[in-house]
Amino acid sequence: MKFGGGCLRDGRSVAQACAIVSAQKPAVVVVSAVSGVTELLLTAIDQAKRHERNIPPVLSALADRHAGVIDELCPGRIPKKRLQGEIAARISRVERLLTGIAFHGDLTPAVRARLLSFGERLAARLLAGVLESLETRATALDADRAGVCTDDNFESASIDRGRTRRLLRPRVAPLLRAGIVPVIPGFFGRGPGGAVTLLGRNGSDYSAAAVAYAMGAERLEVWKDADGFMSADPGRVPTARRLERLSFAEAAELSYFGAKILHPRTVEPLAGTCTRVFVRNMNDPGSPGSEIVAGRPGRAVDVAGIAANARLAVLRVHGAGIGSKPGLLAGVSSTLAGAGINIHSVLTSHTCINLLLDPTDAARGLKRLKSATNGVIKKVELEENLALVGVVGERIMEKEGIYARIFAAVARERINVEMAAAGASPVACYFLVRKA
Ligand code: ASP
Ligand code: MG
């Protein structure tokens, strides 16, 4: 069972999460940081780089965020004291790391990853402590020590599911047999050399799937403070429906295109297994949520869902004959990769390469590519006014007329399609329109 930051917001929501765990154990629990804590740690890093005196206020904010929940929830004095002590011990490690950054003025990716992992480490202690005080035996087990194994990418690592199973299972299974709920922090693991690596923002979902794989779990339940996968963002589309079932590929594509419900890589570690995957609403535990299935979901409608993403920038690389110059695309992408910039998607023609990037990478990408202009590349431009709409469904590439319906619907609203891509995934297509 995985609980996201939105489920760990205050005393009431933590109590609700604990009630769900107690009712369903035996279970292994994976947690995100308490809501807002990862952001707080990011601020802490910025502040520490500026000056050492900026550290204490962030540390007290971090302490208060957790103390508030403990005060509201732990009835017994002894467990409460012990839990407060455990939290304080971890916050003092954060303090030491931040002081190091303040002195050094800079930080390595390894230190940054270690520091950001503390949001989840704290949340795991917190949840285990509250479970204990409610008389459910539980113990927090740090993910790097428990054996969540990854490659050596510090910012967005990939799970090594084979190694994770070999290491984690022998450590976790005995706890379960003894009737203890293991609480494992999500979001990070250990690289090949043992250093802390991060699984990318919202990566705890992905951690949970790795743990489910390692344990050969019957089911993975990802608990959220939302209904599950929806046919569209209910904030924008009042008629949006909950999807009862969707395929692994549909879940991955919807998440990739901007449905904020699940990390896009969540289901990867479970490929080829019989583990059932559910996304469930903590505030409505009677509802089955959405089930993500390995095969075809079997659905009457062609389109499962639509997601949009306005946090996007497009780099346009212009030049005559771009489409017939061997190695050009390789040059462009290795220039960006060299700067640690991820390309979300590429659309090319004879005269232009369009690269879809995260907006936080856009300015750097533009600078890098401008300095790389050569005989073929004439101009590089940044376009920040576009948003992407992704349309996802298992049958989308198989059935005639679906595209016609999509684009006709957009045209009826007098919206121009600036770019479009289809066929890259058998279950999805996307197009770009003006943000407005
Ligand atoms: N706490 C991390 C984040 O905010 C990971 C997660 O929430 O899953 O990105
Ligand atoms: Mg989060």
Answer yes or no: is pLDDT of 418 > 90.
yes
Q: Which ligand is nearest to the CA of 262?
A: 1
Residue 188 pLDDT more than 90? yes
**Cβ(333)–Cβ(345) below 8 Å:** no
Average pLDDT on 412-435 reads 93
User: Rounded to the nearest whole angstrom, what is the distance from the C-alpha of residue 360 to the centroid of ligand 2?
Assistant: 18
Residues 149-168 have pLDDT tens digits of: 999 999 999 999 999 999 99
pLDDT digits (tens, 9 = 90+) for 346-375: 998 888 999 999 999 999 999 999 887 777
Q: Could you give the percent of the chain with pLDDT greater than 70?
A: 99
Is 260 close to ligand 1, i.e. is its CB under 6 Å away? no
Whether ligand 1 lies within 6 angstroms of the CB of 185 is answered as: no
Q: Is the pLDDT of residue 72 over 90?
A: no
pLDDT for res 84: 92
Query: CB neighbours of 339 closer than 8 A, spacing ≥ 6?
Result: 361, 364, 365, 368
Helix axes 77-104, 37-50, angle to 10 degrees: 40
> How much distance in Å is there from the Cα of 193 to the middle of ligand 2?
26
Residue-wise pLDDT tens digits, 326-345: 888 899 999 999 988 999 99
209, two tokens:
């799937």
Ligand 1 atom at minimum distance from 33 CA: 1
Please report which helix (H) or strand (E) contains residue 115, including its range. helix 109-116
- Residue-wise burial string across 355-394, b where 16 or more C-beta atoms lie within 10 A, e elsewhere: bbbeeebbeebbebbeeeeeeebeebebeeebbbbbbbbb
Determine the Cα angle at 330 with ends 327 and 334, to 5°. 145
Mutate to test the pocket of ligand 1, among 7, 40, 62, 204 (most ligand atoms within 8 A of CB): 204
Residues in contact with 236: Cβ distance below 8 Å, sequence separation at least 6, in sequence order: 308
**Distance separating alpha carbons of residues 221 and 19, to the nearest angstrom:** 15
416: CB partners within 8 A, 6+ apart? 433, 434
Which among 171, 189, 182, 187 is positioned nearest to 136, based on CA atoms?
182
Nearest Cα residue to atom 5 of ligand 1: 202
359 preceded by a cis bond (ω within 30 of 0): no
Atom of ligand 1 nearest to the CA of 186: 8
Per residue, the 3-state secondary structure of 195-260, as one string, reads CEEEECCCCHHHHHHHHHHHHCCCEEEEEECCCCCECCCCCCCCCCCECCEEEHHHHHHHHHHCCC
Helix or strand (DSSP H, E) at 86: helix 77-104
The best mutation among 7, 37, 38, 197 to test binding of ligand 1, ranked by most ligand atoms within 8 Å of the C-beta, falls on 38
Burial of 80 (0-12, 13-18, 19+ CB in 10 A): middle
Q: Residue 409 Cα, ligand 2 centroid: separation in angstroms?
A: 35
Question: Looking at ligand 1, which atom is closest to the CA of residue 37?
Answer: 1
Of all ligands present, the nearest one to the C-alpha of 198 is 1
How far apart are the CA of 32 and the centre of ligand 2, in A? 6
Q: Given a cut of 90, is residue 128 above it in pLDDT?
A: yes
Asked if residue 261 lies in contact with residue 313, where contact means CB atoms within 8 angstroms, the answer is no
CA 257 – ligand 2 centroid, Å = 18
Whether 251 contacts 293, CB under 8 Å = no
Distance 360 CA to ligand 1 centre (A): 18
pLDDT at residue number 377: 86
Contact 334, 281 (CB under 8 A): no
pLDDT value of residue 328: 87
pLDDT, residue 78, reads: 65
CA 7 to ligand 1 centroid distance, Å:
12
Tokens encoding 301? 């409608």
